[in-house]
Structure 1
Amino acid sequence: MKYRGIVYDVGLRFTANNPYSVAHFDSELVSYDINTIATTLHANAVRIEGEEIERLLTASRIAHAAGLTIFFNPWKMNVPIADLPAYFAQAASAAEQLRGEGANIVFVCGCEITLFNDGILPGATLMERVAWLGSQAAAATGPKVPTVFQEKSAMLNDALTAITAAVRAEFSGLVTYSSGTWEDVDWRLFDVVGVDYYRNGETAREYVAGLDRFRIGKPLIVMEVGSCAYEGAAARGAGGFMLLEGQNPDGTGKFVNNIVPTRSEREQAEYVEEQLELLSGAEVDGVFIYVFSFPSYRFGEGARDLDMMSFSLVKTFPDGDPRSNQMPPWAPKAAFHRVADFFQR
């Protein structure tokens, strides 16, 4: 496994006009986090994702100084696909600047564009597109992309053709894409095959065998895998967050059927460790664990514990807790230690 990686979020807007997932970008904390990724977690790569290019640049320079390979992932959600080439061209120019500074950098031309951008899947919002995708789940099993997605994938590949042309005009390094398993990507456009590859209830054998359709003679990297931290989260895989429907004015979570899940860091840790073990024997070139931190969902008790609904390896303390003012304002979860042990081995 060439790349032992962690996903690091510097601020995404999952819902149009809402605050970033990282509301306050603190370069001191970013430096602490990334150096923790490089040293305590024993990673050699980091996938830095976010919308603001300046934030990506700052975090990438810190990662370069820490000796990490950077997967540079600009990500502008909830805009029409027609708007993406110009955005990626600007980001690619910044990434080429980093390459000129000596950074070892791979450019990521977006992530699950069918889901996170307007114009391909039905739905005006991310959650509407998630719901449509979920309604097709029965047809989305098996090793091949179902027929229902073929037309959608053709639209995606038209978008990716325009995006990669814009990126390659500015950036001279390796280029990849972070695909959903329902997307049938034209990998001729890319140097590296990248797939977000969560296990959603399949057997271990089925999970590993599902990678075969991505083996086309190019490097193959699992760009995301991870789990939420509550009982039952492992079987839900990538959809673990969907039990949280929103937040009440008092900060408590709104959960499906008004049932508050039971926190289980052990379940998250065992899922992550098992997938790492399986993937290490599956001849992939790299794995990125999603995600280091997710400060929008803070640690708490009972219905206030939104952290258990995130995929983060650390739990961020809420405002008002004295630990929220320390450096760092988080503590490792059980999965953090499993990842560190695995990467060190």
Structure 2
Amino acid sequence: MEYTEQSKGISRARFLAGAAAVGVAAVTVPAVGAAAASRGLSRRGVVYTVGAGETPETAWSTARMRADLRVIRHDLHADTVDVTGDGVERLTATAAEAAELGLHVWLQPTLGDVPQRDILEHLAECGRFARRLRRQGASVELSVGCEFWLFVPGIVPGATARERIANLLSGTVDPVGMQRRLTRFIAQAAAVGRSVFDGRLSYAAAQDDEVDWSLFDVVGIDYYGYHPDRAGYLADLARYRRFGKPVAITEFGTCAYVGAPESAGMGWDVVDYEKEPPEIKGGLVRSERTQAAYVAELVDVFASMSLYAAMAFEFVTPDAPHRPGDPRHDLDMASYALVKPLQDRGGWHWEPKEAFHALAERYARLDCGQVGPHR
């Protein structure tokens, strides 16, 4: 999910380095065993954010949402859409449309930077809607949120995500106290989710978060790891199986420039928002091929491990336009989106990136049962 205007400069909503900053201990990685012998991926998805946008032109709209979901269903060959963001009306309208198209709905409300009671009530409203949708025959799961230490005030000091990140980087946050507060709020959110929703429940954690997964039916991980070979990914991901529950990759992806995968979850942090207009730092070289290769490799890995679900982050980032011929201001270069927004006289439109086509090819083959690595 992208941040709003108030948190410019941290536009990707995943600060995975924060786990290390607060001192989370490393986990012993078990060997990949016989469970990885079968191949497949039960849910093939993409994250679709329903944010308010930074301008009226880039804000969520019913017409654009409907058109995008049809592309996701028919052209991307996804069978699942992770409907995320804030605003009950936007979330529920998008979830209902996705269900109408026959997509599996992974509903994940992520209201942030407001009092905790408001976040829980927002979750409850969305959960009640998800229950109604499910009882009408739709395929729906509910995620109670993602990376609460980043979005929810009161866990890490700071009124906004930007302030919380600054405090984490300063090294002044007590990791024990932070973990205690995080564990408490995750439990509260899980209890709210269970009280309003009667289907599978999950939470989207950062890669090294400590979570009591006994509260949930599915282990959800926002995964932005980088390894030079496939064996590294297999070993890294195997640790999430130790909980004995289905594993869903609730986010994965990278940006469209040379070297982005090696930056892992920090690939977005290459924009200087102090300048007007914002400018790409460091003379980066745009490379849609780099993004496409990473996405394709990860899908092959997930399928080889027979993980439950994978949702690519994300379909579109309207506030990160592509500016052909102007690499210093090509904000799409620092975006994880599968399509690139382009300005036009009527506002903007998007065009697919190479990562869109690579993911569509993988998802189509998985849909047909052809689950081996691409040749």
Q: TM-score range by the shorter chain?
A: 0.7 to 0.9
TM score, norm. by length of structure 2: 0.79
1:1-345 to 2 correspondences below 5 Å: 1-11=41-51, 19=54, 23-131=58-166, 149=175, 151-201=177-227, 203-215=229-241, 216-246=243-273, 248-249=275-276, 252-256=277-281, 259-300=282-323, 301-318=326-343, 321-322=344-345, 324=347, 329-345=349-365
Q: CA deviation at 1:169?
A: 1.5
**CA contact 2:52–2:60 (8 Å) conserved in 1:** no
Could you tell me which amino acid in structure 2 is paired with residue 190 of structure 1? F
**CA contact 2:148–2:186 (8 Å) conserved in 1:** no
CA distance in 1: counterparts of 2:353 and 2:304, whole angstroms: 25
Q: CA deviation at 1:153?
A: 3.0
CA distance in 2: counterparts of 1:36 and 1:86, whole angstroms: 32
CA distance in 2: counterparts of 1:312 and 1:201, whole angstroms: 21
**CA contact 1:153–1:185 (8 Å) conserved in 2:** no
CA distance in 1: counterparts of 2:75 and 2:111, whole angstroms: 30
CA distance in 1: counterparts of 2:228 and 2:175, whole angstroms: 21
Could you tell me which amino acid in structure 1 is paired with residue 111 of structure 2? K
CA distance in 1: counterparts of 2:292 and 2:170, whole angstroms: 29
**CA contact 1:11–1:21 (8 Å) conserved in 2:** no
Q: CA deviation at 1:203?
A: 4.7
CA distance in 2: counterparts of 1:290 and 1:260, whole angstroms: 25
Q: CA deviation at 1:118?
A: 1.7
RMSD of the alignment, in Å?
2.3
3-state SS, counterpart of residue 102 of structure 2: coil
Unaligned runs of 5+ in 1: 14-18, 137-147
**1:221-277 deviation line (CA, Å, top 9, x unaligned):** 11000011111111112211111131643xx32344xx3422111111111111111
Could you tell me which amino acid in structure 2 is paired with residue 293 of structure 1? V
Could you tell me which amino acid in structure 1 is paired with residue 359 of structure 2? V
**CA contact 2:280–2:330 (8 Å) conserved in 1:** no
Q: CA deviation at 1:210?
A: 2.1
Could you tell me which amino acid in structure 2 is paired with residue 334 of structure 1? E
3-state SS, counterpart of residue 268 of structure 2: helix
**CA contact 2:92–2:126 (8 Å) conserved in 1:** no
Q: CA deviation at 1:151?
A: 4.5
Q: CA deviation at 1:98?
A: 1.6
Q: CA deviation at 1:304?
A: 2.2
Q: CA deviation at 1:104?
A: 0.8
TM score, norm. by length of structure 1: 0.86
**1:2-55 deviation line (CA, Å, top 9, x unaligned):** 000011111168xxxxx4898422212111111111111111101010101111
Structure with the bigger RCO (C-alpha within 8 Å, sep 6+) is 2
Residues 235, 279 of structure 1: alpha-carbon distance in 2 compared, 3 angstrom cutoff? same
**CA contact 1:268–1:335 (8 Å) conserved in 2:** yes
> Greater CA deviation, 270-279 or 95-104?
95-104
Q: How many residue pairs were aligned?
A: 320
3-state SS, counterpart of residue 208 of structure 2: coil
Q: CA deviation at 1:90?
A: 1.8
CA distance in 2: counterparts of 1:201 and 1:124, whole angstroms: 35
3-state SS, counterpart of residue 179 of structure 1: strand
CA distance in 2: counterparts of 1:287 and 1:225, whole angstroms: 8
Could you tell me which amino acid in structure 2 is paired with residue 266 of structure 1? R
3-state SS, counterpart of residue 127 of structure 1: helix
Residues 333, 74 of structure 1: alpha-carbon distance in 2 compared, 3 angstrom cutoff? same
Residues 124, 237 of structure 1: alpha-carbon distance in 2 compared, 3 angstrom cutoff? same
CA distance in 1: counterparts of 2:105 and 2:88, whole angstroms: 14
Could you tell me which amino acid in structure 2 is paired with residue 208 of structure 1? L
Paired residue for 2:35? none
Residues 69, 324 of structure 1: alpha-carbon distance in 2 compared, 3 angstrom cutoff? same
3-state SS, counterpart of residue 241 of structure 1: coil
Could you tell me which amino acid in structure 2 is paired with residue 2 of structure 1? S
Residues 244, 186 of structure 1: alpha-carbon distance in 2 compared, 3 angstrom cutoff? same
Could you tell me which amino acid in structure 2 is paired with residue 8 of structure 1? Y
3-state SS, counterpart of residue 235 of structure 1: helix
3-state SS, counterpart of residue 108 of structure 1: strand
CA distance in 2: counterparts of 1:132 and 1:207, whole angstroms: 31
CA distance in 2: counterparts of 1:44 and 1:50, whole angstroms: 20
Q: CA deviation at 1:65?
A: 1.5
